[in-house]
Structure 1
Amino acid sequence: MLQGLRRLLAGFALLLVCSLLGWAPRAEAGVANAPGANLEVALITYGPGDTYWERFGHDAIELRDTVSGESATFNYGVFDFDEKGFLLHFARGRMHYMMDAAPTDVDEQYYVSVGRSVTRQRLAFTPAQAADLRDFLLWNLRPENVRYDYDYYADNCATRVRDALDKALGGALKQQLTSRPASMTFRQQTARLMRQQAWLMLILDLGLGPYADQPLNAWQESFLPMVLQREIAHVTVPGANGAPRPLVIEKQLLSPNRLIPPPDEAPDLRLPLGLAGLAFAVFLVMTRKLAPAVYALAGSLYLVLAGLVGVALLVLWTLTTHHSAWANANLLLFNPAAFFLLPALWRSRRGVAPSRRIEVLLVLQLLATLAAILLHLLPGVVQQNQPWLLFALPCWVALAWCLRNGQPRRVAAA
């Protein structure tokens, strides 16, 4: 993403845009007015960075005038923190991103300076295709066309680059990539890339619904720049004699990665979360008699977090356009009803049995947990939330046991 460079490059990019749109004198040839035969098209891929929003990588389209030597990169990864209502738009899932253009060496120097890899794949575009791509990118740079509504998986900086290339190629890219299965789902790719920020990885995994677990093809999985870089190497286009030829003519590693690379596989969260849930359940049961205050504090922490998670999941589903979080089955495990158990939990540390209403609520929560397990066993595309099932089940069972079997001395009022 180039959001950090937005202000730095604003003035320079404006001059470049003016030149590209034809406002500069035509005496000097360049990318904007070079004939298609002089235009060289390349896909530039920047490796993942250290900051969480850089973990997915970035890419751009490079156009180079082979006669004048002028070269510019066009990317779709710019956003503005100073935009009015930015945080509200972000929360509601209506983020506004922008396209931008800059001299190739400016972009490259930045990524080299922060240790991110830079890979260039020169593409076999015909003169007509190169000119069409250039014209489309210039049209896209106009103020009335430069913004778009960002979506993490369906409409981002990589999919916009992919779609622009596909449009110039007459749909050949999409036709070939949709015929190949993806290597991972949205959820798996997200967990793999966010693994270095474990806390954020867990939050994202908890918040993703069944949309993130649908089977993908290579076209959909190329929402990631590194996947697009990999998959485009297998695409062919008609050559001069009509025979298929590789779309990628040449691949160059312009700058190697100097950061810790993401793992090749997504982490399996089932064992760690399952063990964490079991350990917490054992801790609750043991402290129920040995340290009632500790038991009440630990149980309260779980209930508060479960309630807050439930509120967040409900908001994401009902009040935002984050469709990747809709219909999240984790709502059956963590929901706002947990808040109503807090008073009963604190009374139980003194041996007070739960009221009839609390017992009904406990039974409903256990049934909801069972329903989540049964939903997971249904055929077809279901949410892959086994880690959270393994975590929540022992926690709820332990809480129910502690509330109902703590050697009660009296029953609380309803």
Structure 2
Amino acid sequence: MPLLTVDPCFIYKYKKFCTLIAVFFGVLTTPLWAQQAQLSSETKVSLITASPGNELYTIFGHTALRIYDPKTEIDRTYNYGTFDFDTKGFYWKFAMGNLRYFLSTTPYENAKNTYLGDGRTITEQRLNLSPEQTQQLFRYLQTNARPENRYYSYEFFYDNCTTRVYEALNAVIGDSLRLQKPINPAKNSFRQFINSYLEPVPWVKLGVNLVLGLPTDEIPSGSEMLFLPNLLKKRFANAKIQNADTSVALVDDQTIYTPANKAVLNPPVLTPKLVFWSLFVLVIPLGIAFSNKQSLWRWFDCVLFGIVGGIGFLILILWLFSAYPTTTWNANIVWTLIAPIILYVVIHKKKCRLQTWKLTEPVILGIVFMAMIFFLIHQDIPPALYPVLVLLIFRGWMCFFMSKPKYATLLEVNSN
């Protein structure tokens, strides 16, 4: 039997009409299905965990729920991690925490083939839910999937595709769910957990660690530990359901589906550590040997302090205006916003050397004070930035020192 095909030109030409028809039938039929569908006693609920993929948005893995009823032929996945790439201002909305995620439903085989086609391993854990709990979960998901309920505000650690699945199951199982002791004996923070996934993408890891603030260094406890797909999978593997007189394992059995070609992320050759240490080794000796080449170093300082100051401005914007609580109280603002002060000195050094030198002592005292605050609140600087920090101190010291009138005059005499 030939497949039904539709001319793409037709779809484009009548896009609005087709959209209205699809929305009409979707709104008309979905609530009816949600109300009328009665699952059989043979229905199984599964926790679906997909391993990380090659795309950046798949790097932490994924969690979904499967409901399979062989009698009614319902077999679909419920996915809380759906978003629209075509959203206007996608990246800005994502950065500011205003991108809406939503619950989508997909035939299970389609989702399975997509994950395997992307080289992602699938772990299916079939859960030991009673028929009543299964029906209740089905109604919960169907209600959440309605257009008026499906959207939510995504958050890295506290509200994502994995935490939403746990909340759905917890709403059904309730107090009878018994999770084993927390699987965090090393007392890892949120930042340490996500950094282990970001190793193959060091530039992304650097950016993430720059913009996420002190809340990221908190140690998750209780249900907060269930913010990553693999963590939820491990916790459920040892969990139990406590009934009146008996206790049964939450996971009845497990199936692992392995792709033909597993997704692999290869780290780039030019890592931040390599680039920044190479810059450090090059600039420090040249800065000492050719300190009188003021025009050259002025351009270099403008680029260095301008980029760092721009990062500081971004951190400030995210701190003040982003909806993510994890971008607040970011200690990286201490050293990144010092850069514009030094940049001002670089640009105006010739015009106001005396005034600039008078500013040196309060600026240095301010830097020391902010550095003390930085170290007291225990937020780690990404190690790849150590050489950049030394460069900032070195070039900043040179700028302020050479703005001293006596030194500047001596330097001009020697250069003549």
The TM-score normalised by the length of structure 1 is 0.79
Aligned length: 384
Q: Residues 203 and 272 of structure 2 are in contact (CA less than 8 Å); yes or no, is this contact kept in structure 1?
A: no
Pairwise CA distance, 1:198: 1.6
Q: Residues 332 and 371 of structure 1 are in contact (CA less than 8 Å); yes or no, is this contact kept in structure 2?
A: no
| Pair 1:34 & 2:39 matched | yes
- Deviation larger for 253-262 or 196-205: 253-262
Task: Give the match's secondary structure for 2:80.
Answer: strand
Gaps of 5+ in 1: 1-6, 27-31, 264-268, 377-381
| Pair 1:409 & 2:414 matched | no
Pairwise CA distance, 1:102: 1.2
Per-residue CA shift, 1:39-96, capped at 9, x if unaligned?
1010011111111111111121000103344311111111123445655533421221
* Aligned residue in 1 for 2:5: none
Give the whole-Å Cα distance in 2 for the aligned partners of 1:147 and 1:14.
Answer: 19
* Aligned residue in 1 for 2:157: 153
| Pair 1:170 & 2:174 matched | yes
Q: Structure 2: which amino acid aligns with 1:106? A: N
1:303-342 matches, within 5 Å, as 303-335=305-337, 337-342=338-343
| Pair 1:398 & 2:394 matched | yes
* Aligned residue in 2 for 1:225: 229
Task: Give the match's secondary structure for 1:315.
Answer: helix
Q: Residues 284 and 398 of structure 1 are in contact (CA less than 8 Å); yes or no, is this contact kept in structure 2?
A: no
Q: Residues 159 and 222 of structure 1 are in contact (CA less than 8 Å); yes or no, is this contact kept in structure 2?
A: yes
Return closer, same or farther for 1:12/1:234 CA change in 2, 3 Å cut-off: farther
Return closer, same or farther for 1:25/1:320 CA change in 2, 3 Å cut-off: closer
2:32 to 3, 15, 22: 22
Q: Residues 12 and 102 of structure 1 are in contact (CA less than 8 Å); yes or no, is this contact kept in structure 2?
A: no
* Aligned residue in 2 for 1:385: 381
Pairwise CA distance, 1:375: 1.6
Return closer, same or farther for 1:46/1:15 CA change in 2, 3 Å cut-off: farther
* Aligned residue in 2 for 1:375: 376
Give the whole-Å Cα distance in 2 for the aligned partners of 1:25 and 1:330.
Answer: 52
Give the whole-Å Cα distance in 2 for the aligned partners of 1:25 and 1:220.
Answer: 33
Q: Residues 344 and 358 of structure 1 are in contact (CA less than 8 Å); yes or no, is this contact kept in structure 2?
A: no
Per-residue CA shift, 1:212-260, capped at 9, x if unaligned?
0101136223211122112211111136x83322211111112347012
Per-residue CA shift, 1:192-225, capped at 9, x if unaligned?
2222222111011111111001011362232111
Pairwise CA distance, 1:387: 3.0
Give the whole-Å Cα distance in 2 for the aligned partners of 1:282 and 1:73.
Answer: 57
Q: Residues 200 and 265 of structure 2 are in contact (CA less than 8 Å); yes or no, is this contact kept in structure 1?
A: no
Q: Residues 273 and 384 of structure 2 are in contact (CA less than 8 Å); yes or no, is this contact kept in structure 1?
A: no
* Aligned residue in 2 for 1:356: 357
Pairwise CA distance, 1:156: 0.7
Return closer, same or farther for 1:344/1:87 CA change in 2, 3 Å cut-off: closer
Give the whole-Å Cα distance in 2 for the aligned partners of 1:234 and 1:16.
Answer: 39
* Aligned residue in 2 for 1:115: 119
* Aligned residue in 1 for 2:197: 193
1:245 to 248, 253, 263: 248
The TM-score normalised by the length of structure 2 is 0.79
Pairwise CA distance, 1:354: 7.4
Return closer, same or farther for 1:25/1:302 CA change in 2, 3 Å cut-off: closer
* Aligned residue in 2 for 1:65: 69
Return closer, same or farther for 1:370/1:142 CA change in 2, 3 Å cut-off: closer
Q: Residues 46 and 124 of structure 2 are in contact (CA less than 8 Å); yes or no, is this contact kept in structure 1?
A: yes
- The structure that has the greater radius of gyration is 2
Q: Residues 319 and 327 of structure 2 are in contact (CA less than 8 Å); yes or no, is this contact kept in structure 1?
A: yes
Q: Residues 287 and 294 of structure 1 are in contact (CA less than 8 Å); yes or no, is this contact kept in structure 2?
A: no
Give the whole-Å Cα distance in 2 for the aligned partners of 1:86 and 1:278.
Answer: 36
Return closer, same or farther for 1:165/1:93 CA change in 2, 3 Å cut-off: same
Per-residue CA shift, 1:2-52, capped at 9, x if unaligned?
xxxxx9xx99999899766434997xxxxx3223x2210100111111111
Task: Give the match's secondary structure for 1:301.
Answer: helix
* Aligned residue in 2 for 1:4: none
Per-residue CA shift, 1:82-116, capped at 9, x if unaligned?
44565553342122111011110011111111111
Give the whole-Å Cα distance in 1 for the aligned partners of 2:34 and 2:322.
Answer: 44
Give the whole-Å Cα distance in 2 for the aligned partners of 1:104 and 1:164.
Answer: 19
* Aligned residue in 1 for 2:301: 299
